[in-house]
Amino acid sequence: MNKDWLIPLAQWGASVLAMTILMGWVARSRLRDRPEADRHLLRHPASTLILGIVGAVLFFGAAIVSNTVGKNSTSTIWTTLTFVGLGCASSLAIADYFRARHRVSDSGIDFGRMLGERGRLRWADLRRVHHASFMKWFVLEGRSGTKVRVSFMLLGLPEFARLVLQHVPREVIEPDTLDLLQAAEQGQLPDVDE
């Protein structure tokens, strides 16, 4: 009996299992208790930094190895560019960890962006609050056109949700986003692994 199909099946099964465990770890890292001094700070959990560093080292290392000691007839410029591209994507996760930090207060949100300047948006200046379920973030749109994206991954979402619900008029918040914010306020954070 030919069992050649078992190897690819085992590889796919191991990949799915590894991703499930990894995403579960990342999602759980948002639930850790935080010091009271950090209550108003929205920032990525350490798992974001760890995954960014591991990915950057792995992919940039693979790009180097594929052009030096591991060079063979299957190594092409596309192999190298793929590894470099994935390394750059991992580097963006590192940049996001350090730059995309927000501070919320009763008056509004002081926001940071992965690439670009910091800014401030007052709750009273919001014209729309919605979420992008594919990208896993809340979007705050100001009357001036300013958009602030608040990742579902950030620590501090319950406090963010509480302040949005307390200070932003309901007619500005889309109904399905209102449900997510009410759940987040109670500690039921939006899914990041679906």
pTM above 0.85, yes or no: no
- Helix orientation angle between 6-28 and 46-67, rounded to the nearest 10 degrees: 140
Chain-centre distance for alpha carbon 33? 19
- Above 70 in pLDDT, residue 2? no
The per-residue pLDDT for range 79-112, each reduced to its tens digit, is: 889 999 999 999 999 999 999 899 999 999 999 9
Q: Mean pLDDT, the chain, as a whole number?
A: 90
How open is the CA angle 84-23-47, to the nearest 5 degrees? 70
The per-residue pLDDT for range 55-87, each reduced to its tens digit, is: 999 999 999 988 888 777 777 888 889 999 999
* More confident site: 192 or 152: 152
Cα-Cα-Cα-Cα torsion 107, 38, 136, 178, nearest 10 degrees, comes to: -50
Which residue reads 């692994």 in tokens?
Answer: 193
Question: What are the sequence ranges of the domains in the chain?
Answer: 39-99, 102-185
**Residue 6 half-sphere exposure toward CB, CA atoms < 13 A:** 4
